[in-house]
Structure 1
């Protein structure tokens, strides 16, 4: 992949303005990035902007962001309905519904629209290789699996596909850390990434303990709350 001389806070394009898309846009806007939020209609985008404003207001009210953060964040976000608006972005994050055909088409168009140095990422829980068949520059394709809600939870699981440049993985993690996130790199693609698989493993065991009469649901809850609580 060619050397990227873009500034430390490149333009970020978020494709999709649903619950993940507008949350990711908020993350980068409050971190000082200019953001283009791309959605289907101006009406739905205005709704998303309202949700971002309410969210940032809440952070300000709780003393987690300074006064004026809402105005500053909204000033950095531009709303658009065309993928062409992502052409100047250094980082593009697809956050569309889990429709594989739609994602494949979107990645193919982004490959044509965006600079050869732009990172093309997905927030999907599926391996990015499943949606990159129409991308010519596979070295810049990567998964950035944000946890919901992205403006609250720090974890982002980062995973390249065969052919993803190590420099792209490093650059992606650097941008995420700069936005206040905690990226964790996964060495190879796997359905569900790390966190979901660990959660479901615990859930399966909990069901088994209950079904076998070993422990009640309340007993398991008490055990979890008094032993496995996050540090």
Structure 2
């Protein structure tokens, strides 16, 4: 069986890390609205892949998250005079119902970001300890993209040829314009959690990494999602 490897940019034979088993993670939705047809296509495609691997005799462990804390959720809640938790719960339920209508199998593991805060903080602390991340006075914590020599390998993009601010907000506290937030300091009216760096919440880049590590272990065999996620991940 050949699969396309986003790291090497070519088709390669599927060789499981553990013989006969596949650990598979597919990025779930940010639950601030109904999903659209493009979202559904991604989830349906990976459901077919999962079913085919099972048909071929693999023991597949499939995890998919719900991102239930994010700027989009907070903005939607503020616009409607609701709490972020209410918005996230409404559209989490709507997403699951839509997947059932499509006949898509439930994941074996469906973690929610707001219930994994401790695991995220542990991962951020480890990255700081190893020199891959740094806290700043405002309470944010940033990942240092220049500390990872393989950053950009999936998308094939050269950081020196990209425009600062196109996908990452420019901030004077950053060591490099392309550094991105692993932890965001709390703002008035936003959901937040205590942390070693002050009250705040995770950046969405942190969530999948922490949940994969906790529930599937690393490395995994397949990490799926929309093509637009390849570069920031």
* TM more than 0.5: no
Which is richer in helix? 1
For normalisation by structure 1, the TM-score amounts to 0.29
For normalisation by structure 2, the TM-score amounts to 0.29
